[in-house]
Chain A
Amino acid sequence: MLSAAPGGRVHGRSAGLGERLIEVGLLGCGLLSIFTTAGILFVLAIETFAFFREVTLAQFFFDTQWTPLFADKHFGIWPLVSGTVLTSGIAILVALPFGLLAAIYLSEFAEQRVRKVLKPALEILAGVPTIVYGYFALVFVTPILQAMIPGLAGFNSLSAGMIMGMMIIPMISSMTEDALYAVPNSLREGAYALGATRLSTIFRVVLPAAVSGIAASVILAISRAVGETMIVAIAAGQQPRLTLDPRLPVETMTTYIVQVSMGDTPAGTLEYRSIFVVGAALFVMTFTMNFVSQRLTRRYRSAV
């Protein structure tokens, strides 16, 4: 058996109890994120179950009115869903063309130097607090739109949706730009060598090759719009209404949660539980979209 150097010891453990405690502590920190998810699921689930002991699923899914705060209570989720879909739809209609074209510019046309400035500049758009956008939509954009569109209410989904679209432009442009940038240059060269112009190379070769990355970015942006709260709470109104008319006040799922939270609703009441139910529906929607988006991202990362 080998003997260690004089005075030295090679057997036993250098890592003492302290060392192991630290590892356990760090593991705890890592597990906290899992507890957070579990906490969200737990909190949403218990209140949702309590809610559905008093309200039937039929009332929830087949009624067309949402009035839990009135004496004549209805619990049809669709007005909130339609408000959410409408505002997010408008947002994506704004953000999609801007985001895609901006991404094409940054990836295909801009010089490296320009790109290094413009890309982070665009990302500022996503860093501005949403309360600021809400203010802008209500105080600046809505009056301008009212001058142009007769019958536009003071609270409406158009103005809120448009500004929300502005906010999510960088989500689309950044992720799409990453996807375009990841398209190998050999494909562009292949197209050029066939005598393709720049435009047909972009539209027929580069964009199709990046399509799953682009889809991922768009889905993530929609998910972000669906979960966005303050812009719609401030500028789109707080009236649940089953409509797709962008000129009218609506209420989104997120706004409803904020609206109830502003009042002092005692725990255990149906109103209190209703915000967790709406939150659960919101969670399911955004979780699904994020999941699909991540799947798509992984696909293009492995494909390219």
Chain B
Amino acid sequence: MASAGAPTAPEKLRMTQSAHSRPGRPRENSVNSEEAATKFRVRRLAAWFGSQQVLHGLDLDISKQRVTAIIGPSGCGKSTFIRCLNRMHELVPSARVGGEVRLDDEDIYGPGVDPVLLRRRVGMVFQKPNPFPSMSIRDNVLAGLRLTHQLARAHANEINEKALRSAALWDEVKDRLDEPGAGLSGGQQQRLCIARALAVEPDVLLMDEPCSALDPIATARIEDLIHTLRERYTIVIVTHNMQQAARVSDRTAFLLTGELVEYAPTDRIFTAPSDKRTEDYITGKFG
């Protein structure tokens, strides 16, 4: 990878280099310190599909190397929100975004930012596992690098193994790396998609209901995985499952019809929510 020599983790997003494009922030090392550095700074974020506005001015900061859960009733805009964080929202024709999202202090909607480069830093895992059907397990893991022409053949096996180990899938598939990725079980497919996202070496991992298609055992494995990944990545996870949010996340945001109702440390949200609507939702009185 051409960037191997870059000293700091955040890679530049701009297509054309400008001298002041990047404040040289040092990497945050103290994983456990309470006040973690901010990864995403979201201000007045609004999003539309055609003329229908689905996000109404969200403000929140997402901490680095923390797990942030997004909860809320169906249709409230959770997916839309996280898709605004890696600029996937704009792939829908007629979709539009307003407001500001800063990643490591750089405006990702600023002029000259290439969404393609952004997405290499902000990986995503989808609700339904979507391994590429024409590719083997190994090729699926390496797909991100192949698709972006960054793969040095010499490192392929190494990267493949590392990503699969990180996704806790290596032991299950190491003898069948050349079989099609679509031949795995649903839970394995989802971990394959996580490995695929990790192989690109992002700093952020967005997960949109990653366990909703999985059984409890597969779900537990993914949650364990999130625990270990938390040390190296900033994770934003959308979930419908309250217990899951409580188990895996540090902070939780509750969205309702496109507005941020409450955003607080997870234990506070689940034990002493300050908003009545949050309480109703997590106790199941809602909708």
Residues of chain A having any CB pair with chain B under 8 Å: 111-112, 184, 186-197, 200-201, 204-205, 208-209, 211, 303
A195 interface neighbour in B91, B119, B134, Cβ under 8 Å: B119
Chain B residues near A208: list those with CB within 8 A: 132, 134-135
Chain A residues near B148: list those with CB within 8 A: 194-197, 200
B282 interfacial by beta-carbon distance below 8 Å: no
Chain A residues near B144: list those with CB within 8 A: 194-196
A193 interface neighbour in B88, B117, B132, B133, Cβ under 8 Å: B88
CB proximity to A under 8 Å, residues B106-165: 116-121, 123-124, 126, 128, 130-135, 143-144, 146-149
Chain B residues near A190: list those with CB within 8 A: 126, 130-132, 193, 196
Chain A residues near B133: list those with CB within 8 A: 187, 209, 303
Scoring B126, B132, B135, B193 by chain A CB atoms within 10 A of each residue's CB, the highest score goes to: B132
B120 interface neighbour in A186, A194, A209, Cβ under 8 Å: A194
CB distance from A13 to the nearest CB of B (A): 52
CA of A186 to CA of B128, assembled, Å = 8
B117 interface neighbour in A189, A191, A195, A200, Cβ under 8 Å: A195
CB pair A193 B134 closer than 8 Å: no
Chain A residues near B134: list those with CB within 8 A: 205, 208-209, 211
CB pair A209 B200 closer than 8 Å: no
Residue of A with least CB distance to B147: A196
Chain B contact residues (Cβ within 8 angstroms of A): what range?
20 to 34
Chain A residues near B200: list those with CB within 8 A: 194-195
* 10 A-B interface contacts by CB (under 8 A): A189-B126, A191-B132, A194-B143, A195-B121, A195-B147, A200-B149, A204-B143, A205-B147, A209-B134, A211-B134
User: Nearest 10 A-B pairs (CB), nearest first?
Assistant: A195-B120, A194-B144, A208-B134, A196-B147, A193-B124, A186-B130, A195-B119, A190-B130, A200-B147, A197-B116
Q: What per-residue 1/0 map shows which CB atoms of B80-117 lie under 8 Å from chain A? A: 00000010100101000000000000000000000011
CB pair A205 B91 closer than 8 Å: no
Chain A residues near B126: list those with CB within 8 A: 186, 189-190, 193
CA of A111 to CA of B144, assembled, Å = 27
Chain B residues near A205: list those with CB within 8 A: 132, 134, 143, 147
CA of A98 to CA of B128, assembled, Å = 35
CB distance from A210 to the nearest CB of B (A): 9
Chain B residues near A200: list those with CB within 8 A: 147-149
CB distance from A115 to the nearest CB of B (A): 12
CB pair A193 B86 closer than 8 Å: yes
CA of A187 to CA of B144, assembled, Å = 12
CA of A291 to CA of B25, assembled, Å = 63
Chain A residues near B131: list those with CB within 8 A: 190
Chain A residues near B119: list those with CB within 8 A: 192-195
CA of A4 to CA of B93, assembled, Å = 62
CB proximity to A under 8 Å, residues B42-96: 86, 88, 91, 93
CB distance from B215 to the nearest CB of A (A): 20
Chain B residues near A303: list those with CB within 8 A: 133
Given contacts A189-B91, A192-B91, contact A209 B147 (CB under 8 A): no
CB distance from A204 to the nearest CB of B (A): 5
B248 interfacial by beta-carbon distance below 8 Å: no
CB distance from A195 to the nearest CB of B (A): 3
Residue of B with least CB distance to A112: B93
CA of A48 to CA of B221, assembled, Å = 68
Chain B residues near A188: list those with CB within 8 A: 91
Known: A189-B126, A189-B130. 5 other contacts (CB 8 A): A192-B116, A193-B197, A196-B148, A200-B148, A205-B143
CA of A190 to CA of B146, assembled, Å = 13
CB pair A194 B88 closer than 8 Å: no
CB distance from B204 to the nearest CB of A (A): 11
CB pair B132 A209 closer than 8 Å: yes
CB distance from A301 to the nearest CB of B (A): 14
CB distance from B186 to the nearest CB of A (A): 14
Chain B residues near A192: list those with CB within 8 A: 88, 91, 116, 119
A111 interface neighbour in B93, B123, B135, B149, Cβ under 8 Å: B93
Scoring A187, A190, A201 by chain B CB atoms within 10 A of each residue's CB, the highest score goes to: A190
CA of A83 to CA of B93, assembled, Å = 48
CB pair B93 A194 closer than 8 Å: no
CB distance from B159 to the nearest CB of A (A): 13
CA of A301 to CA of B128, assembled, Å = 20
Residue of A with least CB distance to B145: A194
CA of A87 to CA of B149, assembled, Å = 39
CA of A187 to CA of B140, assembled, Å = 11
Q: What per-residue 1/0 map shows which CB atoms of B204-248 lie under 8 Å from chain A? A: 001000000000000000000000000000000000000000000
CB distance from B206 to the nearest CB of A (A): 8
CB pair A204 B147 closer than 8 Å: yes
